[in-house]
Structure 1
C-alpha cells in the first residue's frame, strides 16, 4: 500500500513512520517510539507532574496513534503537532479521572 504526501507537508522521516504505521508495520511503531518517546514523555511529565501518570499517558498515546494513524492528515497539521495534541488529550483525560 502506498501513501503519498507532499514534501512540504511532512518530512521524509515522518513520511516513512506514517506510511509504515498506516500499513500496521511493527517497524513504524519502533521508529515512532525511538524518535518521539523521549520528547513526548517530557511533555507528559510536565503536564501531569507525576511519573506514573505520565507513563500511563504515554502508553495511551502510543496505543491511540497505532489505532488511529489514519486520522493524521498532513494537510491539517504537522506530525509533531498531531502527536502533541494526542499527549495533551490523554493527559487531560487521566488527570480528570484521577481527580474524580
Structure 2
C-alpha cells in the first residue's frame, strides 16, 4: 500500500466515522495509517521523544472520544487530527514548561558556573564547587515535576502564583511541592555532609 492510499482523506473519514461508532478495528486502522505522521509532528514541537509519545497517546484518546464530533465540511481528517496533536503538545508545554525542565547534568554545570567567583581563593572555589555538585545531585533526585516547580521558583525567580499559572497547577499544590522538595533537599544535603 502506498502512502497516497494510506492517507486517502476518504478512507480516513470512513475510519473516523467507524471510531465514532466505537468500531475498534476502524480506529486501529486509523491509528496505523496516521500515527507515524502525527508522532513526527508532535516530535517537531516537543523535541523530546517521550513527550511526543505522551502527546500522541493523549491525542488518540481524544480522537477516539471526539470522533463523533468530527465535521468533514470544516476540515480534512488529517487537519483535524493534527490540530488535536498540536493543541495537546501546546497544553503539555504550558502544563509542564518542558522547555525549562531542569536536567541534572545541565543544572550541575549551570550552578557551578553561577557560583564561580573569579576573586575566590582556590579553597573557596573548591568548596563552592563541592556545594554546587551536592545541590545538583540532590535536585536531580527529586521527582521531575517537583524539581521543575522548585527550579522555577528559585532559579527562575518566579512567585508561587507565577509558578502555579505557568504549570497550570493549584497554588496550594505548588506551595506543598516546594515545601516538601525543600525538606528533601535539606535531608539529602545533610546526608552528603555526613558522607
Displacement of 1:12: 3.1
Give the secondary-structure state (helix, strand or coil) at the position aligned to 2:34.
Answer: helix
The answer to whether the aligner puts 1:35 opposite 2:33 as a matched pair is yes
Matches of residues 13-32 of structure 1 in structure 2 within 5 Å?
13-32=11-30
Q: What TM-score do the two structures reach when normalised by structure 2?
A: 0.45
2:79 maps to which of 78, 81, 100: 81
Instruction: Kindly indicate whether the alpha-carbon contact (under 8 Å) linking 2:27 and 2:64 is maintained by their aligned counterparts in 1.
Output: yes
What is the total number of aligned residue pairs between the two structures? 91
Question: Would you identify which runs of 4 or more consecutive aligned residues in structure 1 move more than 2 Å?
Answer: none
Indicate the structure (1 or 2) with the bigger Cα radius of gyration.
2
Displacement of 1:21: 0.6
Query: For residues 31-67 of structure 1, what are the alpha-carbon distances to aligned partners after superposition, in whole Å with 9 as ceiling and x for unaligned?
Result: 1111000000000000101111101100100000000
Give the secondary-structure state (helix, strand or coil) at the position aligned to 2:29.
Answer: helix
Structure 1 partner of 2:89: 91
Which of 1 and 2 has higher RCO (CA within 8 Å, sep 6+)? 1
Displacement of 1:71: 1.7
RMSD: 1.3
Unaligned stretches of 5+ residues in structure 2: 1-7, 98-166, 168-195
Q: Distance in 1 between matches of 2:23 and 2:33?
A: 16
